Amino acid sequence: AYVVTEACIKCKYMDCVEVCPVDCFYEGETMVVINPNECIDCGVCEPECPAEAILPDTEGGLEKWMELNATYSAQWPNITIKGETPDDADSHKGEDGKFDKYFS
Protein backbone atom coordinates (compact mmCIF):
# COMPACT_ATOMS: atom_id res chain seq x y z
CA ALA A 1 0.00 0.00 0.00
CA TYR A 2 0.94 3.67 -0.21
CA VAL A 3 1.35 5.65 3.00
CA VAL A 4 0.73 9.30 3.91
CA THR A 5 3.61 10.64 6.01
CA GLU A 6 4.49 13.64 8.19
CA ALA A 7 4.80 16.06 5.28
CA CYS A 8 1.01 16.06 4.94
CA ILE A 9 0.47 17.50 8.42
CA LYS A 10 -0.78 21.11 8.23
CA CYS A 11 -0.45 21.08 4.44
CA LYS A 12 -3.36 18.88 3.45
CA TYR A 13 -3.48 19.89 -0.19
CA MET A 14 -5.88 17.02 -0.95
CA ASP A 15 -4.89 16.68 -4.61
CA CYS A 16 -4.38 13.03 -3.69
CA VAL A 17 -8.00 12.32 -2.79
CA GLU A 18 -9.23 13.43 -6.20
CA VAL A 19 -7.23 10.90 -8.14
CA CYS A 20 -7.61 7.74 -6.05
CA PRO A 21 -9.60 5.19 -8.08
CA VAL A 22 -10.78 3.32 -4.99
CA ASP A 23 -11.47 6.33 -2.71
CA CYS A 24 -9.37 5.03 0.16
CA PHE A 25 -8.36 8.33 1.79
CA TYR A 26 -9.61 9.30 5.26
CA GLU A 27 -9.54 12.80 6.72
CA GLY A 28 -8.36 14.01 10.12
CA GLU A 29 -7.92 17.54 11.50
CA THR A 30 -4.36 18.02 10.32
CA MET A 31 -3.73 15.34 7.67
CA VAL A 32 -5.24 12.56 5.60
CA VAL A 33 -4.36 8.86 5.69
CA ILE A 34 -4.72 5.89 3.36
CA ASN A 35 -6.52 2.67 4.32
CA PRO A 36 -3.87 0.04 3.58
CA ASN A 37 -6.48 -2.67 3.09
CA GLU A 38 -8.25 -0.71 0.37
CA CYS A 39 -5.25 0.80 -1.47
CA ILE A 40 -4.57 -1.13 -4.68
CA ASP A 41 -1.03 0.22 -5.10
CA CYS A 42 -1.82 2.05 -8.34
CA GLY A 43 0.61 4.84 -7.38
CA VAL A 44 -1.28 7.70 -9.05
CA CYS A 45 -1.58 9.70 -5.82
CA GLU A 46 2.16 9.85 -5.14
CA PRO A 47 3.15 12.44 -7.80
CA GLU A 48 0.00 14.51 -7.16
CA CYS A 49 1.06 15.60 -3.67
CA PRO A 50 2.80 19.03 -3.70
CA ALA A 51 4.32 18.20 -0.29
CA GLU A 52 5.66 14.82 -1.43
CA ALA A 53 3.95 13.26 1.58
CA ILE A 54 2.91 10.00 -0.07
CA LEU A 55 5.34 7.09 -0.29
CA PRO A 56 5.08 3.37 -1.07
CA ASP A 57 5.33 1.18 2.04
CA THR A 58 8.17 -0.68 0.37
CA GLU A 59 10.32 2.35 1.19
CA GLY A 60 12.19 1.54 4.42
CA GLY A 61 11.60 3.13 7.82
CA LEU A 62 7.93 3.96 7.48
CA GLU A 63 6.65 1.71 10.29
CA LYS A 64 5.30 4.58 12.39
CA TRP A 65 3.38 5.99 9.45
CA MET A 66 2.10 2.61 8.28
CA GLU A 67 0.68 2.05 11.75
CA LEU A 68 -0.79 5.56 11.90
CA ASN A 69 -2.46 5.20 8.48
CA ALA A 70 -3.96 1.84 9.48
CA THR A 71 -5.19 3.11 12.85
CA TYR A 72 -6.75 6.37 11.76
CA SER A 73 -8.24 5.18 8.48
CA ALA A 74 -10.43 2.98 10.68
CA GLN A 75 -11.58 6.00 12.73
CA TRP A 76 -11.67 9.06 10.49
CA PRO A 77 -14.32 9.76 7.81
CA ASN A 78 -13.75 8.88 4.18
CA ILE A 79 -12.87 11.78 1.87
CA THR A 80 -13.32 11.59 -1.90
CA ILE A 81 -13.50 15.23 -2.99
CA LYS A 82 -10.83 17.86 -2.49
CA GLY A 83 -11.77 20.26 0.31
CA GLU A 84 -10.33 23.65 1.22
CA THR A 85 -6.55 23.61 1.61
CA PRO A 86 -5.46 25.50 4.77
CA ASP A 87 -4.41 29.12 4.05
CA ASP A 88 -1.03 28.56 5.68
CA ALA A 89 -0.34 25.22 3.96
CA ASP A 90 2.61 26.55 1.95
CA SER A 91 4.31 27.89 5.08
CA HIS A 92 4.28 24.40 6.63
CA LYS A 93 5.63 22.67 3.53
CA GLY A 94 8.89 20.90 4.31
CA GLU A 95 8.80 21.89 7.99
CA ASP A 96 10.42 19.44 10.44
CA GLY A 97 8.81 17.92 13.54
CA LYS A 98 5.23 18.51 12.44
CA PHE A 99 3.91 15.38 14.13
CA ASP A 100 5.00 16.51 17.61
CA LYS A 101 3.94 20.09 17.03
CA TYR A 102 0.60 19.75 15.32
CA PHE A 103 -0.78 16.25 14.89
CA SER A 104 -4.35 15.81 16.03
Note the residues at the interface with ligand F3S (CB under 6 A): 4, 8, 11-16, 31-32, 48-49, 51, 53-54
Q: Which of residues 42-101 bind ligand SF4 (CB under 6 A)?
A: 42-45
Please say which residue, 40 or 86, places its beta carbon nearer to ligand F3S: 86
Q: Which is nearer to ligand F3S, 14 or 39 (CB)?
A: 14
Q: Output 1 or 95, the one with its CB closest to ligand SF4.
A: 1
26 binds, among ligand F3S, ligand SF4, none (CB under 5 to 8 A by kind): none
Total Cβ atoms within 10 A of residue 37: 10
Q: Which helix (H) or strand (E) holds 2?
A: strand 2-4
Q: Count Cβ atoms below 10 Å from residue 88 Cβ, excluding itself.
A: 10
Measure the CA–CA gap between 10 and 98, rounded to whole angstroms.
8
- State the Cα–Cα distance between residues 42 and 76, nearest whole angstrom: 22
- H-helix or E-strand containing 3? strand 2-4
Interface ranges with ligand SF4 (CB under 6 A): 2, 19-20, 22, 24, 34, 39-45
